Structure 1
Amino acid sequence: MEHIELFFKSIFIDNMVFATFLGMCSYLAVSKKVSTAVGLGAAVVFVLAITVPLNWLLDQYILQPGALSWLGAEYASYDLSFLSFIMFIATIATMVQLVEIIVEKFSPSLYNSLGIFLPLIAVNCAILGGSLFMQSREIASLGLALNYGISSGIGWFLAILAIAAIREKIRYSNVPPALRGLGITFIITGLMAIGFMSFGGMLTGGDEEEAKEETTVQVEAVETESAKELANNTTINE
């Protein structure tokens, strides 16, 4: 259940583009054609799916305070958390270089159409944001980290694919001159963000039920304590 909830929340409610506005530069620049949007979106999914679990391992076994205890008791007091940004970015840059080599080898046309934005995945804030959110949310296992990386990438992929498909159709629409270009794109992005975040009501039902159950248990406990106190007072008075 935890994996499913994290998966859908990362795609819809906590979408990198619509909820935190990360990766907006490439989202706006490479979303003019569906073909290029699909290629860049797939590359982002791949990079996030690899870098988030790798950075989780680095965080758990190297960077956190006391993470080096597996090397011996003398290393248990070490704190390398100040290296988090450097290590995360190094991992991301390595994976992006791998993606660039693969795309150039197997799809030169896509490599040429993506242009500078393919190597710029290394400095895409959505990629680094995935690892930092993983760290700040204290994701508990490697499986959840992999889940979060894939689902965050899919969320970014859906966002750029949707806006690219809409922008292709808008070319044939009668858009007011003042809104043509980025103006109408920002308006559509805002409307899409509202649509994506509306899924929050569907994915929080379980949390509300658990909260109600906890409240019921607390009320019952208070009533039991009150009954005990009343019985004790009655006994004392008698």
Structure 2
Amino acid sequence: MEHIELFFKSIFIDNMVFATFLGMCSYLAVSKKVSTAVGLGAAVIFVLAITVPLNWLLDQYLLQPGALSWLGAEYADYDLSFLSFIMFIATIATMVQLVEIVVEKFSPSLYNSLGIFLPLIAVNCAILGGSLFMQSREIPTLGLALNYGVGSGIGWFLAILAIAAIREKIRYSNVPPALRGLGITFIITGLMAIGFMSFGGMLTGGDDEAPKADEATQVEASKEDLNKEKVLANNIKVNE
């Protein structure tokens, strides 16, 4: 249940574009055609699925206070958390370059179709945001880190795919001259963000908290009734 909850939260509720507005440069620049948006979105999913778990391992076994205790007791007090940014960025840049080399070597056709989009991923702040959010939310296991990376990538993919499809259709619409281009794109993005905010009530535990509150209220009410019965019984004894 925890995996499913985190997966859907990272896609809809904590969407990288609509909730935190990360990756907006690539989102706006590469969303003019659906085909290019699909290529970049798939590459973002792949890179997030690799870098978030790798950075989780770095954070757990190198960067956190006391993470170096596995080297010995004398290293237990070391705190390398100040290196988080540079280590995460280095990991992302390395993986993007590695992916670019492997794709160019084994699938030249895919490399040519992606073109400039592969190196663009290295400067996509949504990639770094995924690792930083993973760290700040203290995701406990490697499996959940992988889950979060894939879910965040899918959320970004859905965002750029949706805006690309709308922008392709809106070319044939009668948009006021002052709003053509980025103007109407920002307005549509804001409306889509409002739509995604409607998912905020999903998987938040609100349905589970209400019965608990009702149970607590019932317990308090039963205690009050019991006290009243005791007081009444004492009064009856006194009167007798």
Q: Provide TM-score, normalisation by structure 1.
A: 0.88
CA contact (8 A) 1:43 1:99 kept: no
The Cα of 1:22 is off from its aligned counterpart by 0.2
Secondary structure of residue in 2 paired with 1:199: helix
Equivalent in the alignment of 1:215: 213
Matches of 1:88 and 1:51 in 2, distance apart? 8
Matches of 1:122 and 1:149 in 2, distance apart? 15
Q: Runs ≥4 in structure 1, deviation > 6 angstroms?
A: 227-230
Equivalent in the alignment of 1:177: 177
Equivalent in the alignment of 2:155: 155
The Cα of 1:46 is off from its aligned counterpart by 0.5
Matches of 1:114 and 1:60 in 2, distance apart? 34
Matches of 1:40 and 1:105 in 2, distance apart? 19
Matches of 1:35 and 1:85 in 2, distance apart? 33
1:29 is aligned to 2:29: yes
Equivalent in the alignment of 1:128: 128
The Cα of 1:113 is off from its aligned counterpart by 6.0
CA contact (8 A) 1:52 1:149 kept: yes
Letter in 2 for 1:60: Q
Equivalent in the alignment of 1:50: 50
1:197 is aligned to 2:197: yes
More off after superposition, 92-101 vs 217-226: 217-226
Letter in 1 for 2:214: T
Higher Cα Rg, which structure = 2
Matches of 2:207 and 2:166 in 1, distance apart? 38
1:7 is aligned to 2:7: yes
Matches of 2:102 and 2:72 in 1, distance apart? 40
- Structure 1 residues 112, 77: closer, same or farther in 2, change over 3 A? same
Count of residues paired in the alignment: 236
Letter in 1 for 2:210: K
- Percent sequence identity over aligned pairs: 84
Matches of 1:80 and 1:223 in 2, distance apart? 53
- Structure 1 residues 76, 156: closer, same or farther in 2, change over 3 A? same
Secondary structure of residue in 1 paired with 2:78: coil
Deviation sequence 1:87-130 (CA, Å, 0-9, x none): 11111111111222244345656645655442131121100000
- Structure 1 residues 102, 195: closer, same or farther in 2, change over 3 A? farther
List alignment gaps of at least 5 residues for structure 1.
none
List alignment gaps of at least 5 residues for structure 2.
none
Matches of 1:6 and 1:97 in 2, distance apart? 29
Matches of 2:189 and 2:106 in 1, distance apart? 32
Deviation sequence 1:165-190 (CA, Å, 0-9, x none): 11111222222211111111111111
Deviation sequence 1:132-158 (CA, Å, 0-9, x none): 000111111111111000000000001
- Structure 1 residues 67, 229: closer, same or farther in 2, change over 3 A? farther
More off after superposition, 50-59 vs 187-196: 187-196
- Any residues of structure 2 matched to 1:60-75 within 5 Å, and which? 60-75=60-75
Equivalent in the alignment of 1:166: 166
- Structure 1 residues 18, 213: closer, same or farther in 2, change over 3 A? same
